[in-house]
Structure 1
């Protein structure tokens, strides 16, 4: 049987932990059925690497350019124009990783919100996919969504760790939710319960490589630096199907 065709909804192949071995990593991912990867930039400092990967692997890499909330303190004026240039130069590009974060200390709330709202409006104006990072900021996000347009195609909350109630509210705004291998840990039963409550058509799977490494039993591909490998996506999907109390074939055929 040929391998399943999968798409990694969110990862960072441009990371220094992966970039040097990208040829081998992409080949290994393709060998287990990963046909596409959404590679998310986090600031102008890595957008060129994302662009390079998209040109090097045009059939598999979907580039995404965004300003991550953790990066807002180090970015100067001009990033908005550069973001638009990157989107214009890649017709299949997405926006992100961007978002809001109250977990990381020392971040300016106003700077975070201004950057996020700009990117959300840009995604709405162009009806582009947008990958959103939220940590301990669900109420803040909901307040913004009440006042800010979103893409008619919806938006992705990557590695979604919110509650079932929050998920229901966000789904009304058009949210999609991606599950990362990190949530296969037994102690993440609350997140697993939330995903059981979501409509299947609103769920995506991601590695967030090189981060969000799954538990050892769901690691099919290891790296010397112990980073999460994009090829782990297939085993993460299998683990997710088991968590949902469903067989893999039933999940994929629905």
Structure 2
């Protein structure tokens, strides 16, 4: 096992003492971890680990569907602040679950609430990578019109255990669709099936779209064993050596984590969709056409000019506010 090329694409915080993980991280053989924050209470811990071990931990912030019913009012603002502070983070662990029940109430989690939370997070993922739970989902469909709301996203189906039909339908999506699907494998989830079935399922995943994971939060020995099991399952199914499996999964995970958005006009690449849009407006679409007639400052978007006029603060408001009207903003709906 070439540990220098290993990346655990989906792991968790330990349920026990966090100090155990902190004390063991430097000694763990696994090269990198993507650690999930599944609710707002996890996010500061994930952030602390990412700051303490920047070369080891890739942070991920999100709301798991099982946490969607008890969120603070400011949860989304908080999520945005974490994403802003960690531009290379993932959004996750998030998703939709039509089957699971709340252990305390024995009632299924409200699917309408899940959808609302999920869509908000999906919008936040514009131009970013997305780690998504695909657990016990009967059917999730996002039509083409809905897709237009979102940027191009690398979309990982964690511990993918769906039917061959679902896998085939996802793989049939064209390259210019808004989602690039990756599929990760864990022993703890995928290994529950009979060996013949999980081998068949793994074999169908394209070589360039498969990843390995533990789906655990643990310490030395536990995590290495879980990731080794995942890699060995993939190696057996694909007919690869363990060394080849390490090489291919390392390339796949680096590509998944570093996906950039390409400007269709010049080919320049960007990490986030808003950055690409700003580039297109300033370079390809006439620069900044909305000018303040009072101070001369230019804006790429009409709403940027309006905010300049209205929300600069009492001491710094542009004096044009006194005569502000829609003529300042060409084609403005205001």
TM-score by length of structure 1 reads: 0.82
Please state whether the residue corresponding to 1:169 is helix, strand or coil. Answer: helix
Tell me the residue number matched to 2:16.
17
Residue in structure 1 matching 2:217, options 190, 205, 210: 210
Offset, 1:92 = 1.6
CA displacement at 1:64 relative to structure 2: 0.4
Paired residue for 2:184?
A: 178
Contact 1:162/1:191 (8 A) holds in 2: no
In 2, are the aligned partners of 1:42 and 1:66 still within 8 Å (CA)? yes
Which of the numbers 86, 111, 114 marks the counterpart of 1:112?
114
Alignment correspondent of 1:143 = 142
**Maintained 8 Å contact 1:25/1:231:** no
Q: Following the alignment from structure 2 to structure 1, what is the Cα–Cα distance between the partners of residues 22 and 2?
A: 22
User: How many Å apart are 1:240 and its aligned residue?
Assistant: 2.5
Structure 2 counterpart of 1:44, from 36, 40, 43:
40
Structure 2 CA distance for aligned equivalents of residues 113 and 168 of structure 1? 24
Match of 1:247 among 241, 248, 270: 241
What RMSD over aligned residues (CA atoms) do the two structures have, in Å? 2.4
The alpha-carbon distance between structure 1 residues 251 and 135, as it changes in their structure 2 partners (threshold 3 A), is: closer
* TM-aligned CA deviation for residue 239 of structure 1: 3.4
**RCO comparison, higher one (Cα < 8 Å, 6+):** 1
CA distance in 1, matches of 2:158, 2:168: 16
> Are residues 24 and 177 of structure 1, via their aligned partners in 2, closer, same or farther at CA, if it must alter by over 3 Å?
same
User: Residues 136 and 231 (structure 1 numbering): CA distance in 2 closer, same or farther, change over 3 Å?
Assistant: closer
1:27-106 to structure 2, matched below 5 A, reads: 27-29=26-28, 31=29, 34-105=30-101, 106=108
Give, in angstroms, the shift of residue 27 of structure 1. 3.0
Contact 2:2 2:246 in 1 (8 A): no
How big is each residue's C-alpha offset from its partner over 1:130-150, in whole Å with a ceiling of 9 and x where there is no partner? 1111223242x2236762355
Query: Any conservation in 1 of the 2:231–2:246 contact (CA below 8 Å)?
Result: no
The answer to whether the 8 A contact 2:234-2:245 is kept is no
Is contact 1:129-1:151 (8 Å) kept? Answer: no
- Structure 1 spans left out of the alignment, 5+ residues: 212-219, 223-228
79-88 vs 233-242, which deviates more?
A: 233-242
Structure exhibiting the larger radius of gyration computed from Cα positions: 2
Distance in 2 (alpha carbons) for counterparts of 1:46 and 1:60: 18
Unpaired stretches in structure 2, ≥5 consecutive residues: 102-107, 174-178, 249-334
| 2:200/2:237 contact within 8 Å kept | no
TM-score (norm 2): 0.64
As a proportion of its length, which structure holds more helix? 1
SS at structure 1 position matched to 2:185: strand
Aligned to 1:238: 232
Secondary structure, in 3 states, of the residue corresponding to 2:142?
Answer: helix
